[in-house]
Structure 1
Amino acid sequence: MASRITELVLDAHDPELLARFWCEVLGYTVLTRDDNGDIEIGPADAGSARPTLVLNKTGRAKAEKLRLHLDINATDRDQDAELERLLAAGARPADVGQTGEESWHVLADPEGNEFCLLRRRVAPA
């Protein structure tokens, strides 16, 4: 028997802001909110094997590069159209030392957490 990733936890200064952003990006919905201000978002289909994202309220600002980042792929449009959608949702380009020859775009969410938009289109889950 193996394990699988069920939740990814991201520290957030403003969980509401990041919940709105990541729900828009991933097509997720808010699943739970707790009394501490933490928010869990995920697929509306409770039986989905996709991991949820827990936005863990913290008073600390992001101080350095994350050791883990998310890679995402568009499901219903090409990479350029998805990039436009992500920028309109509040993402911004991030410079992590890329050369400009990469097939992916490095972006940051509204709190500066880096993620990559890859070129390949994938089927919706």
Structure 2
Amino acid sequence: MTARIANVSIHAEDPDALARFWSGVMGYPERHGWPADEEAELRAAGLSDEDISARAEAWDGDSHHQRFYFTRYTHERRQRNRMHIDITPFEDSRATRAELEAERDRLIALGATLEKELTEPWGPYEEYAIMMRDPEGNEFCLQ
């Protein structure tokens, strides 16, 4: 047996807004709440509007694509996250610097902020990555 990543789970102040942002980043359909049948099941189980709005997802329904899951978290963060997501604009090739810069600009238009560019070589390899933050300040890298 082997494992696979089921979800990338992210604590959020506004799960629905962050799901819309990451749907845009990943090219997934824009989220408009839970599907009617799922919402009906949640309500039948006694969940309130607030309970239902405390969770959201960014996903296109394709089991080969990563699902992002957001849950409301209102407690103070005691420390920074110890891991982050690296994304790339292509499935089948390494992006050029110009392609990464174009993707950076697209993500900024969606609500991301630029943290810094990473240009240090790693041994004989050129490393170029763009460190960014989503609208709630979660760090991710574009490479």
Same fold per superposition (TM over 0.5): yes
In structure 2, the partner of 1:74 is 89
TM-score scaled to structure 2, two decimals? 0.68
What SS does structure 2 have at the residue aligned with 1:22?
A: helix
Gaps of 5+ in 1: 119-125
Contact 1:9-1:53 at 8 Å conserved across structures: yes
Between Structure 1 and Structure 2, the one with more helix by share is 2
Letter in 1 for 2:87: I
What SS does structure 2 have at the residue aligned with 1:10?
A: strand
What SS does structure 2 have at the residue aligned with 1:85?
A: helix
* Within-5 A mapping of 1:1-125: 1-29=1-29, 30=31, 32=34, 35=47, 36=51, 37-45=54-62, 48-75=63-90, 78-94=99-115, 100-101=119-120, 102-118=127-143
How many Å separate the matches in 2 of 1:38 and 1:6? 16
1:41, CA displacement in angstroms?
A: 1.8
Q: Segments of 4+ in structure 1 off by > 6 A?
A: none
- Residues 39-91 of structure 1: CA deviation (Å, up to 9, x unaligned): 1221243xx22331110111125453211100000129711110110111111
How many Å separate the matches in 1 of 2:87 and 2:129? 10
Q: Greater Rg, structure 1 or structure 2? A: 2
1:19, CA displacement in angstroms?
A: 0.9
How many Å separate the matches in 1 of 2:104 and 2:76? 26
Gaps of 5+ in 2: 121-126
TM-score scaled to structure 1, two decimals? 0.77
Between Structure 1 and Structure 2, the one with more strand by share is 1
How many Å separate the matches in 2 of 1:92 and 1:9? 20
How many percent of aligned residue pairs carry the same amino acid? 34
Distance 1:85 1:106, change over 3 A: same
Instruction: Count the aligned residue pairs.
Output: 114
